[in-house]
């Protein structure tokens, strides 16, 4: 039986990467007096590394004008990352982008049906809170009693730690939940924790090869037959998957 939904944030709830984090990174570079600018394409390459701080370090490792590897580089990355998150909050609060199709409806439906919900993300906690408060209103935390964010794990996705912590905090078995993700790395994280995964493809991972998901779609608005993806749809996919795993004696 489906008891919980565990939501990824970036790319899944909204197109936060292209329309939020990328814009904010470039604003942070400008505010710091740096001539660095990341294009939409370059950011797509950097997204292979999860975590904004880690992404900054990766980019700096390929720049001749970055501080040398070590304490100075790390301090600059930390400073830029904090500035980026402040600027990201301004962009989100300015209403620049909406939740993706079907997301608000499913969150609401699950909430009213008593299905537990959690967040499992590599992004920073303040980014989650800002986005959910801005898009769902002050009562957002009633729908999400469990939030596992980047600061809560020692190993970010694709490591399964975030999903392991989420199911533990929800008090459900991994197979009693569904993870909703947009990327192959997120899918691997949930799958390795034993949580069945539904993929709603985001702009950056539209053509990614994703292994192990129970459903892969363009968004959560409609299923393969053009019908709305409802809680009942998720329950049907979940039942089919878990039934298939029961050994026939
Ligand atoms: C996506 C990420 C994050 C964001 C930026 O997380 O990898 O790093 O790009 O957020 P998910 P931070 O898809 O798991 O939500 O700068 O706070 O890391
Ligand atoms: Mg994501």
Per-residue pLDDT tens for 137-162? 999 999 999 999 999 999 999 999 99
Q: For 165-185, write each residue's pLDDT tens digit.
A: 999 999 999 999 999 999 999
Torsion of CA 133, 134, 137, 142, to 10 degrees: -30
- Closest ligand to C-alpha of residue 189 is 1
Region of residue 101 (phi > 0: left; psi between -120 and 50: alpha; otherwise: beta): beta
Atom of ligand 1 nearest to the CA of 121: 14
pLDDT tens per residue, range 12-55: 999 999 999 999 999 999 999 999 999 999 999 999 999 999 99
Question: How far, in Å, from the CA of 93 to the mean position of ligand 1?
Answer: 18
Of ligand 1's listed atoms, the one at least distance from the Cα of 189 is: 14
The sheet that has 116-120: what strands, in order across it? 146-148, 116-120, 4-7, 177-181, 197-200, 215-217
Q: How far is the CA of 70 from the centre of ligand 1 (A)?
A: 23
Would you say residue 247 has pLDDT above 70?
no
Digit-coded pLDDT (tens) for 80-127: 999 999 999 999 999 999 999 999 999 999 999 999 999 999 999 999
State the average pLDDT over residues 220-244: 94
Number of the ligand 1 atom closest to the C-alpha atom of 162: 14
- The answer to whether 220 touches 180, Cβ cutoff 8 Å, is yes
Does 8 participate in catalysis according to the annotation? yes
Could you tell me the pTM of the whole model? Answer: 0.95
* Mean pLDDT, range 54-76, rounded to an integer: 97
CA 9 to ligand 1 centroid distance, Å: 8
Q: Whose CA is nearest to atom 4 of ligand 1?
A: 123
Size (the chain), residues: 249
Choose which residue among 8, 50, 91, 128 to substitute to test ligand 1 binding: the one with the highest number of ligand atoms within 8 A of its C-beta.
50
Select from 22, 28, 51 the residue to mutate for testing ligand 1; criterion: most ligand atoms less than 8 Å from CB.
Answer: 51
Residue 197, pLDDT score: 98
Would you place residue 242 in the very low, low, confident or very high pLDDT band (cuts 50, 70, 90)? confident
More confident residue, 246 or 73: 73
Pocket test for ligand 1, best of 11, 16, 21 (most atoms within 8 A of CB): 21
In 90-238 the beta strands, taken as DSSP E runs, fall at 116-120, 146-148, 177-181, 197-200, 215-217
Protein residues with CB under 6 Å of any ligand 1 atom: 8-11, 17, 21, 50-52, 81, 85, 121-124, 127, 150, 157, 186
Residue 182: active-site member:
no
Angle at CA of residue 18, ends 160 and 56, nearest 5°: 65
User: Which listed ligand is nearest to 11 at the C-alpha?
Assistant: 2
pLDDT at 125: 97
**pLDDT given at position 249:** 41
Give the active site residue among 10, 59, 159, 182: 10
């Amino acid at each position: 039986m489906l008891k919980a939904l565990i939501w990824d944030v970036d790319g899944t709830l909204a197109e936060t990467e292209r329309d939020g984090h990328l814009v904010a990174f470039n604003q942070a570079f400008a505010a710091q007096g740096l001539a660095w600018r990341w294009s939409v394409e370059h950011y797509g390459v950097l997204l292979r590394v999860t975590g904004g701080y880690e992404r900054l370090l990766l980019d700096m490792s390929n720049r001749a004008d970055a501080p040398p590897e070590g304490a100075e580089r790390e301090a600059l990355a930390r400073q830029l990352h904090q500035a980026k998150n402040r600027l990201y909050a301004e962009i989100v609060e300015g209403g620049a982008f909406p939740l993706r199709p079907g997301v608000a409806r499913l969150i609401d439906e699950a909430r009213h049906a008593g299905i537990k919900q959690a967040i499992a993300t590599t992004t920073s906690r303040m980014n989650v809170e800002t986005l959910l408060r801005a898009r769902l209103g002050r009562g957002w935390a009633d729908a999400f009693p469990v939030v596992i964010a980047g600061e809560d794990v020692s190993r970010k996705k694709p490591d399964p730690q975030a999903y392991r912590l989420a199911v533990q905090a929800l008090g459900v078995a991994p197979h009693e939940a569904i993870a909703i993700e947009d990327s192959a790395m997120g899918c691997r994280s949930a799958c390795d924790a034993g949580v069945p995964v539904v993929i709603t493809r985001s702009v950056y991972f539209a053509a990614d090869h994703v292994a192990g998901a129970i459903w892969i779609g363009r968004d959560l608005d409609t299923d393969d037959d053009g019908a709305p993806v409802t809680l009942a749809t998720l329950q049907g996919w979940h039942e089919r998957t878990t039934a298939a795993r029961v050994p026939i004696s």
